[in-house]
Each structure stands twice: as structure tokens, then as C-alpha cells.
């Protein structure tokens, strides 16, 4: 693992805008959905609307059975949770491949490996930085849910769930990068494995 | 002790044999030329030495260590420049030089500044804006600014203009003066001719010739053009060591084996030499001849 610190810093430097864009875009969906709930569901029509949404077979087919639509948090997790989780997986696959297989394909890893770096350090650095981005997504989601007035425990559980889905697919991306010779194939393989049933 | 020691190294990629029992030695402190056509195995050899590839069989020693298992420790003592330096698009040349230097345990700021000056390189530009030649310069400055024992240079001057090539030659001569060992792979033969103490010629994954340039020249012929006082006797054209002779009255043009040069010269001077030119073979000729003849 010689040289890991330098490689992590390099991967962060290389991909900071990539991860920042993903995390911001995915996080913004969450409080926007929670805010929309407050607008469409007012106390007068809440019961009727919730019953309609719960029993609508199309919505159930797309989003799964809702757990609790009486709160904005429960509604948000039901409406966009799967989508954001799937997207965090895609972010992780693309992110890991980007800083491992793609770098090697372009001949930059060779230059790094000619310095005092361990054989596995570039892969570990790429995975670590992606895990960091997944954690950042989790924290940002938990914070934004708390900020719109949802209970802390549920918000943290939602954020942690998203981060862990991302982390799982960081692993998928790492394996895909090892199995393939080109970054394109690695991304295709990783995404093929990713959750595809997104609304 | 030899800085590089390769014994019967074999490397296959699927059905392709890239290195086929390659053996070579590079002594500590020498500038060693590594010559061969594209695809002959030069880069594969260097990647084995860097521990980027593992040889299928044979032994490789680098600076007294094993290039595969001791890679990180050995890499603090060497620097590598590939034939095509790939840069990170959003890092400046200076940042890349510092990054690669850090991975080797630091660069000497004074040398870094001096090299930037000599190679006329602006380190503040982003990777995407550099031309091929400037990317090579980034790699060269990064490698040369580190205080390492061994330089592995894989066609490092590709894309450099003649002025910068001359600068490169001057810098490498200085490096030799500091006692650094250099392995310089090239197909720019004049570069090797000017710089190298010894040369290894590689072909189809094997070293086919190795030695000092003087030793290799013994295998070659000198072009002799002489104007004699008397008509050239027919027998001279078939004398031992004389090849491709053209006789034209008093004039003879021929190739002479370097080993027979003395004999041929005495015969010519016995006939009375009015004028003579002899042209030593360039490495190009040596190289072409080698591949022409052993290629068949």
C-alpha cells in the first residue's frame, strides 16, 4: 500500500467535480420531494389521497408497497428512495472504473506505478475515494431530510441505506474493473449488474 | 555489480511470445543503449524491470533486488520515462512533476527549476494543453529532477524537436558524469551512438548482439573509396574481406571488413594511393545490416 496517501489525494483531485455533481444532483431530489408532499397533501384531503396512492396498482408496481405515507419522510423514501439508491450505485460503478481501469487504459497508472507505489494501491485509492463520495451522499441526504423537519433517526437510516447501496456497487465496479481490459467494458459490466428497475 | 541483470527471461501474452529467453546485463554507471525495431520487446523488457509485468520464466535482478517483489522499495531508486507520457487533463505540468517526484521520495527544487529552464517547459499549463513533445518534457523533467541511481528511458525523445534532443543528450551526458546508470531504449540511432557506452540489440524478444560500439563495429564494414597511381588489379576485388567492389580504372569503391582493413590498406598503399576516403559505418548501417542479414 506504499504511496496510498498520494494516490488518494490524486484521485480526489481528479474526480472532485464528478462526485460533487453526482452528490448534489442526487441530494437535491430528496428535500424537493419532501417539499412537494407538503404542497399536494393538505390536512383536508390527506386520508383520501393517501388511500388512492396506496391502492393504485401502477404506482405499487413501480415503487413497491408504501410503508408510511402519512409523513413527508415516508412519502419521499417511497417515491424517490429506489431511484436515488440505484443512481448512487451507478455513481459508484462509474467512479471506481474512472479512477482505476480508465486511468490504466490511458497509460497514467503506469507512470504512477513506476514510482514507489504498491501493486494494489491504485485500486484501493480508487475504491476509497468512491466510498468517501458514497458517505458524503449519505450525510447530505440525512442532513437535508433533517433540515426539512423529518425525524433524525429516520433521516440517518435513509442516508445510511443510500451510502451502503453505493458502497456495494463500489465493490461491483472494482470487480468489473479487474475482469475487463477496457474502461468501456468495465462500465458496461458494472452497470449491467446494477439495479435496473428504476422508475 | 550490474544494475540490471536479465537471464533467459520469457514473457508470453497468450500465443504471442514477447520475450523469448532474453539475457542482458547493464553495468552500474554505464549508459546502455537498447536498440530494436517496434514490437521487438523493448517496452516489455522495461515493464518487467519495473515490476509491471511478471516474467513467465527466467531471472531478473534490478539494483540487487527482485523487480517484481521489491518493486516499491526499488522504485525509490529509479525513474522511468515512457515513450508516450500520458498526463492528467486537469493537473498542470508542474503538479505532475511534483506528484511523480513525491512518489519517488522527493525532487531537488534547484534541479527541477534548472531542467524546466533547459527544456523550455512552462509548468503552469494544464495537461490537456501540452503537445506531444511537451508531455515528454514533463516526463523527462520529473525523472531527471529526482535523485535516483537508475534511469529507465523508453524512447524518451519521441516528439521532441532537434534542439530539445540535443539538450536531452547534454543532460544525459551530465547524468553519466554523476555516476547514474541509464538504460536508453531507442530507434533514434544517432542518439544512442552519441550517448551510449554499450549497446544491446534486441530482435523478436532476444538480445542478438551486445557490446561496446567499438566491439559491434568489428562486425561491420568500412566504405573505402580510393584513387590509385596505377590501374586497380582485378585480384583486389576478390581479396579476403573485400565486398561489393567496383573497379573503374584507377578508382576502387568497396566495402571492407573492419578486421581486414589493415591488409587491404597495405595492398592499396603498395599500389600508390593518390586519394582515399574511408567512412566508418553509422549505427544505422550496422543496424540495417544486422536486421537484413539475420532477418532472413
The verdict on residue A199 lying in a domain is: no
Range of the domain at B267: 221-280
pLDDT at B296: 43
pLDDT: which is higher, B247 or A136 = A136
User: Which set of grid coordinates corresponds to residue A189?
Assistant: 459490466
Instruction: Say what the pLDDT of residue A199 is.
Output: 43
* pLDDT given at position B295: 47
Q: Is residue A92 part of a domain?
A: yes
Asked whether residue B293 is assigned to any structural domain, the reply reads: no
- Residue B66 host element (H or E): none
Instruction: Indicate yes or no: CB of B82 within 8 angstroms of CB of A110.
Output: yes
pLDDT reading at B132 higher than 50: yes
The pair phi, psi for residue A149, each rounded to 5°, is 95, 15
Are B6 and B81 within one domain? Answer: yes
Between strands B16-27 and B2-13, the pairing is antiparallel
Rg over alpha carbons for chain A, rounded to the nearest Å, is 20
ipTM exceeds 0.90, yes or no: no
Residue B16 and residue B155 in one domain: yes
- What is the SS3 assignment for A65? coil
Closest CA of chain A from B203, distance in Å: 24
Q: Are the C-beta atoms of B191 and B32 separated by less than 8 Å?
A: no
pLDDT at B52: 92
State the total domains in chain B: 2
Cell 428512495 locates to A81
Residue A137 Cα to chain centre, angstroms? 7
Residue A142 in any domain: the answer is yes
Q: Residues B192, B234: one domain?
A: no
Q: Answer whether residue B7 is part of any domain.
A: yes
Domain of residue A140, residue span: 4-62+71-193
**Res B292: pLDDT:** 62
Which of B103, B136, B142, B183 would you mutate first to test chain A, the one with the most A CBs within 10 A? B103
Rounded Cα–Cα distance for residues B11 and B54 (Å)? 8
Regarding whether B74 and B177 lie in a shared domain, the answer is yes
Please check whether residues B142 and B271 belong to one and the same domain. Answer: no
Asked if B23 and B88 sit in the same domain, the reply is yes
Nearest CA in chain B to A99: B88
Tell me: pLDDT of A11 over 90. Answer: yes
Say yes or no: B15 and B94 in one domain: yes
Q: Which residues from A are below 8 Å from B103, CB to CB?
A: 3, 6, 112, 115-117
The count of other CB atoms within 10 Å of the CB of residue B163 is: 10
First to last CA, chain A: 41
Q: In the listed set B155, B182, B212, which residue is the last one of a domain according to the structure?
A: B212
pLDDT score at A177: 92
> Are A116 and B76 an interchain contact pair (Cβ–Cβ within 8 Å)?
yes
Same domain, B174 and B232: no
Quick check: A12 contacting B, CB < 8 Å? no
Cβ distance A138 to A160 under 8 Å? yes
Residues of A in contact with B76 (CB under 8 A): 116
Q: What is the predicted pLDDT for the residue at A57?
A: 87
Closest to B103 (Cβ–Cβ): which among A3, A106, A108? A3
Q: Number of structural domains, chain A?
A: 1
Across the range B158-165, mean pLDDT stands at 89
Spatial distance between the Cα atoms of A67 and A74, rounded to a whole number of angstroms: 7
Task: Decide: B209 and B200 in contact? Cβ < 8 Å.
Answer: yes
B44 and B93 belong to one structural domain: yes
- Joined together, the cell numbers standing for residue B246 give 567496383
Amino acid at each position: 500500500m506504499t504511496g496510498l496517501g498520494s494516490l488518494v489525494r490524486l484521485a480526489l483531485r481528479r474526480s472532485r467535480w464528478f462526485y460533487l455533481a453526482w452528490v448534489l444532483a442526487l441530494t437535491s431530489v430528496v428535500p424537493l420531494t419532501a417539499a412537494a408532499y407538503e404542497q399536494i397533501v393538505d390536512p383536508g384531503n390527506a386520508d383520501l389521497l393517501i388511500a388512492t396512492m396506496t391502492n393504485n396498482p401502477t404506482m405499487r408496481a413501480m415503487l413497491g408497497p408504501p410503508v408510511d405515507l402519512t409523513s413527508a419522510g415516508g412519502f419521499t423514501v417511497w417515491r424517490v428512495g429506489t431511484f436515488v439508491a440505484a443512481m448512487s450505485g451507478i455513481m459508484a460503478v462509474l467512479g471506481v472504473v474512472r479512477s482505476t481501469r480508465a486511468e490504466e487504459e490511458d497509460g497514467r497508472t503506469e507512470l504512477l506505478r513506476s514510482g514507489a507505489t504498491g501493486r494494489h494501491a491504485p485500486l484501493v485509492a480508487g475504491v476509497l475515494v468512491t466510498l468517501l463520495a458514497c458517505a458524503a451522499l449519505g450525510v447530505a441526504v440525512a442532513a437535508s431530510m433533517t433540515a426539512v423537519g423529518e425525524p433524525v433517526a429516520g433521516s440517518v437510516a435513509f442516508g445510511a441505506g443510500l451510502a451502503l447501496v453505493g458502497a456495494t456497487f463500489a465493490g461491483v465496479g472494482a470487480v468489473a474493473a479487474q475482469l475487463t481490459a477496457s474502461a468501456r467494458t468495465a462500465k458496461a459490466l458494472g452497470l449491467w449488474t446494477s439495479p435496473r428497475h428504476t422508475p | 555489480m550490474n544494475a540490471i541483470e536479465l537471464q533467459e527471461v520469457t514473457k508470453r501474452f497468450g500465443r504471442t511470445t514477447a520475450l523469448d529467453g532474453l539475457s542482458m546485463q547493464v553495468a552500474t554507471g554505464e549508459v546502455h543503449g537498447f536498440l530494436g525495431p517496434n514490437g521487438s520487446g523493448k517496452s516489455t523488457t522495461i515493464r518487467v524491470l519495473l515490476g509491471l509485468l511478471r516474467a513467465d520464466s527466467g531471472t531478473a535482478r534490478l539494483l540487487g533486488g527482485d523487480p517484481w517483489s521489491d518493486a516499491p522499495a526499488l522504485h525509490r531508486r529509479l525513474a522511468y520515462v515512457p515513450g508516450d507520457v500520458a498526463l492528467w487533463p486537469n493537473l498542470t505540468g508542474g503538479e505532475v512533476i511534483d506528484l511523480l517526484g513525491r512518489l519517488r521520495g522527493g525532487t531537488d527544487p534547484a534541479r527541477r527549476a534548472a531542467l524546466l529552464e533547459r527544456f523550455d517547459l512552462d509548468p503552469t499549463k494544464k495537461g490537456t494543453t501540452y503537445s506531444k513533445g511537451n508531455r515528454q518534457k514533463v516526463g523527462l523533467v520529473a525523472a531527471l529532477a529526482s535523485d535516483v541511481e537508475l534511469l529507465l528511458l523508453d524512447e524518451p525523445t519521441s516528439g521532441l524537436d532537434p534542439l530539445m534532443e540535443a539538450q536531452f543528450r547534454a543532460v544525459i551526458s551530465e547524468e553519466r558524469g554523476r555516476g547514474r546508470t541509464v538504460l536508453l531504449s531507442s530507434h533514434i540511432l544517432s542518439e544512442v551512438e552519441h550517448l551510449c557506452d554499450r549497446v544491446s540489440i534486441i530482435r523478436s524478444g532476444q538480445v542478438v548482439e551486445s557490446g561496446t560500439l567499438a566491439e559491434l563495429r568489428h562486425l561491420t564494414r568500412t566504405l573505402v573509396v580510393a584513387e590509385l597511381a596505377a590501374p586497380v588489379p582485378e585480384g583486389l576485388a576478390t581479396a579476403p574481406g573485400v565486398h561489393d567492389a567496383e573497379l573503374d580504372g584507377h578508382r576502387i569503391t568497396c566495402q571492407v571488413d573492419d578486421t581486414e582493413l589493415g591488409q587491404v590498406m597495405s595492398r592499396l598503399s603498395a599500389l600508390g594511393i593518390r586519394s582515399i576516403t574511408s567512412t566508418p559505418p553509422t549505427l544505422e548501417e550496422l543496424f540495417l545490416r544486422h536486421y537484413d542479414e539475420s532477418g532472413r
